Amino acid sequence: MTINRELFDQVMVPNYAPSAVIPVKGEGSRVWDQEGREYVDFAGGIAVNCLGHCHPALVSALKEQGEKLWHLSNVMTNEPALRLAKKLVDATFADKVYFANSGAEANEAALKLARRFALDNYGEQKSQIISFNKGFHGRTFFTVTVGGQAAYSDGFGPKPGDIVHSDYNDLAAFEALISDKTCAVMMEPLQGEGGIVSPDADFVKGVRDLCTKHNALLIFDEVQTGVGRTGELYAYQGLGVTPDILTTAKALGGGFPIGAMITTNEIAQHLKVGTHGSTYGGNPLACAVAEAALDTVNTPEVLAGVKAKEALFRELLSAINDKYKVFSEIRGKGLLLGGVVAQQYKGRAKDFLVAGIKEGVMSLVAGADVVRFTPSLVIPEADIREGMARFEKAVASVVANNA
């Protein structure tokens, strides 16, 4: 059997349009394709590979657990799930944990819990959910409707109801929308898919205060920002506000599929036996790998290292930009960074991604106007410099083709 890009078109549903490059091996922040060509990975599987590829701690955890126990139904619990839950509780505001397989599933659980909490405590009239334009919360029908990008939710028939959207960083607009009928507000503490948009400090505090005033639960979607990505274990810890519910996935498993919703005892009690579930949620293999990832990331050295690496990324991106003038700004926090393309390249962020692949560096986009960087949190300085040297060649080629 010949395994190539053409086979994708033959056997896969056409909802993706992957690159012709097929990676076959990864180590640290380097990846090799079928032809043996090497790439520096600044994409990290979209902020998933927090420790790069094949990190020894994750490989060891997977091998060890793989020889013990792979799966149980939720009729029984298991040791890796309990250890991981205890570590998440100890490291955050939360008292209780629910495990799922992905960020979308964690968000689905959070939204269902918020609706049930409001129904039990305040009645059927308190069902409104507010989220933010350009937000992204997953691809289930509930979460994609809550997400603030209609292009992702249109075309599938009637949408889940009583969901409204406000502009991110516009506190006045949000205040005009929220009321005692609002059951929950879902927001990213730094918008990822929507363009790497950081929240104003007053905005975050204002949202928190208005949620408290109206007895609405504040849900932080930390699927992309969580597990060290911003230089804190979770982004809320650097913002001076605490949510009522938090969701985490992506980097939580370091590449192994897992998600979690965490919350307080008072709120968690409303997901009584039978109200929600997941066949694979709390899977021993996933939880064992996630425990190793969390243990490795949640250290002062790694978290401080994220902030130091952010500074180096910004320095090198600024040097490239001084020379080529392709970005109007570099924004984001930690190792969730975005270069907003200048006016003459508007709508063409993907051109930089494609050019980068040709030069041996992997990046991402966040919408049509932002080049996104979400590398390993432990990427060596040498790999940052080498990757940026390759990215500069990619920028030069885009600029030359634009001349």
Active site residues: 136, 221, 250
Q: DSSP secondary structure string, 225-287?
A: TTTTTTSSSSGGGGTT---SEEEE-GGGGTTS--EEEEE-HHHHTTS-TTS---SSTT-HHHH
**Would the annotation count 282 as a binding residue?**
no
**Would the annotation count 278 as a binding residue?**
yes
**Would the annotation count 104 as a binding residue?**
yes
**Would the annotation count 237 as a binding residue?**
no
**Would the annotation count 93 as a binding residue?**
no
- What is d(CA 237, CA 246) in angstroms, rounded to the nearest whole number? 12
- What is d(CA 122, CA 125) in angstroms, rounded to the nearest whole number? 8
Element (H, E) at 372: strand 370-373
Assigned token pair, 263: 């919350």
**Would the annotation count 125 as a binding residue?**
no
**Would the annotation count 147 as a binding residue?**
no
- What is d(CA 19, CA 280) in angstroms, rounded to the nearest whole number? 30
**Would the annotation count 279 as a binding residue?**
yes
Cα 263 to the center of its chain, rounded Å: 18
- What is d(CA 46, CA 193) in angstroms, rounded to the nearest whole number? 10
**Would the annotation count 222 as a binding residue?**
yes
Q: Give the helix, strand, coil percentages of the chain, each rounded to 5.
A: 45, 20, 40
Q: Is the dihedral of CA 181, 183, 188, 192 positive or negative?
A: negative
- What is d(CA 175, CA 375) in angstroms, rounded to the nearest whole number? 36
**Would the annotation count 389 as a binding residue?**
no
For residue 345, the SS3 value is helix
Interhelix angle 300-324/284-297, nearest 10 degrees? 80
Nearest by Cα to 243 from 279, 206, 217: 217
**End-to-end CA separation in angstroms for the chain:** 43
Q: Which residues are annotated as a binding site?
A: 103-104, 136, 139, 221-224, 278-279
Q: Which residues are annotated as a binding site for N(2)-acetyl-L-ornithine?
A: 139, 278
Q: Which residues are annotated as a binding site for pyridoxal 5'-phosphate?
A: 103-104, 136, 221-224, 279
